[in-house]
Amino acid sequence: MKKFILTTLFLIVIFQYSFYAQSLQIKSSYHDYKSIYLKTKVKLLDEFIKRFNGDYSYLGDSINKFSRQDKLRFIIDYEYWQKDSVLIESLIESITRNCFYIEFDKNNWYAKVECLFKYNKKPQIATINMQIETDSLGQSRWTLISAELPFINQNAIFSSDDFINPVNNETGFSEFHKMFSSEKILALTNSDFSYNHLSVFIYLLQTKQLEFQQVNNTTYIFYTSEYCFKVNNFNREHFNSGWLISEIEYNDLPVPIFYSIDRLKLQWENQNRKLLEIINSKNIF
């Protein structure tokens, strides 16, 4: 089955080339070959979206001979195809069955940007998650939604020596002098504490402790109702190059991960509102 699919894919790519070559009546010189593969390359994410949606006739009318399923097969990394053809076919089936199309200003996709920074004079990699935000006037901008800073100490490690004793309040929290002047501060945090990396990232940049060097690479993550898939750039000298689907997973989350931040914020606001209502109704103060 796998071999059959790969052979089909190969034939599709060859037909894709020959249709185009015939339509232009070109000679098969190196230059022409190069031109054709550059034309078939998915050059920008915008082109990926158009080809995903079947909106872009990058090979003239010849591309219209193919079904949407075939057009989707052109924008999948062939190396990934060799690994997981079953999942790829089920994604394609799901996309066509649900008539799923990518819309630029919908928030069911975001960019994962791996960047090189300098932190404490050492090179460090951080991942910045960016999303398009569009206002009521249709004006768009990329916004920071979260950050992943693996070089920041992730977890508070509790030590039996590093704590503030339960009656220290009675001496005006006299142990603050000891605890706040060292790295022991993490030991003071609540057991479910975790850093808000975006806040840390902004603070480190503002205080110039973190210095941006360059963007190493970008991965785009798209969510459908049933799957999420990654799109990466492949710089190859053949017909399967440019921005291509590189990985697929089942989307078993009720909402994409990055929505949960907003959801938590909403929960927190609702809880606070309820608390205020209780306080007001009982005239506590």
Give me the 133-172 binding string for another protein, x by CB under 8 A, dash otherwise. --x-xxxxx-------------------------------
The encoded tokens of residue 10 equal 């190969």
- State the residue for tokens 């009521």: 136
Rounded-to-integer distance, Cα 253 and Cα 250, Å: 9
According to CB under 8 A, which residues from 50 to 109 bind another protein?
Answer: 104
Rounded-to-integer distance, Cα 50 and Cα 233, Å: 16
- With both helix axes pointing from N to C terminus, report the angle between 2-24 and 30-40 in degrees, rounded to the nearest 10: 120
Contacting residue, 2, 11, 28, 44, with another protein by CB under 8 A: 44
Task: Establish if 43 lies at the interface with another protein (CB under 8 A).
Answer: yes
Question: Is the CB of 42 or the CB of 221 nearer to another protein?
Answer: 42
Question: Is the CB of 111 or the CB of 200 nearer to another protein?
Answer: 111
Q: What's phi and psi for 42, nearest 5 deg?
A: -85, 95
Give me the 200-239 binding string for another protein, x by CB under 8 A, dash otherwise. --------------xxx------------------xxx--
Residue 254: Cβ-neighbour burial (10 angstroms; 0-12, 13-18, 19+): exposed
Q: Cβ(78)–Cβ(277) under 8 Å? A: no
Please state the closest distance from residue 84 (CB atom) to another protein, in A: 25
Please state the closest distance from residue 232 (CB atom) to another protein, in A: 14
Chain centroid offset of residue 211 CA: 23
- Which 3 state secondary structure label does DSSP give 110? strand
Please state the closest distance from residue 41 (CB atom) to another protein, in A: 8
- State the residue for tokens 């806040």: 199
Question: Is the CB of 217 or the CB of 271 nearer to another protein?
Answer: 217
Task: Establish if 35 lies at the interface with another protein (CB under 8 A).
Answer: yes
Task: Establish if 29 lies at the interface with another protein (CB under 8 A).
Answer: no
How many residues touch another protein under the rule CB under 8 A: the total is: 22
Question: Is the CB of 8 or the CB of 140 nearer to another protein?
Answer: 140
Give me the 113-132 binding string for another protein, x by CB under 8 A, dash otherwise. --------------------
Rounded-to-integer distance, Cα 270 and Cα 170, Å: 34
Question: Is the CB of 19 or the CB of 195 nearer to another protein?
Answer: 19
Rounded-to-integer distance, Cα 221 and Cα 227, Å: 10
Q: How far is CA 207 from CA 119, 146, 198, 203, 211, in A?
A: 12, 19, 14, 6, 10
Please state the closest distance from residue 244 (CB atom) to another protein, in A: 15
What are the residues binding another protein (CB under 8 A)?
34-35, 38-39, 41, 43-44, 46-47, 104, 135, 137-141, 214-216, 235-237
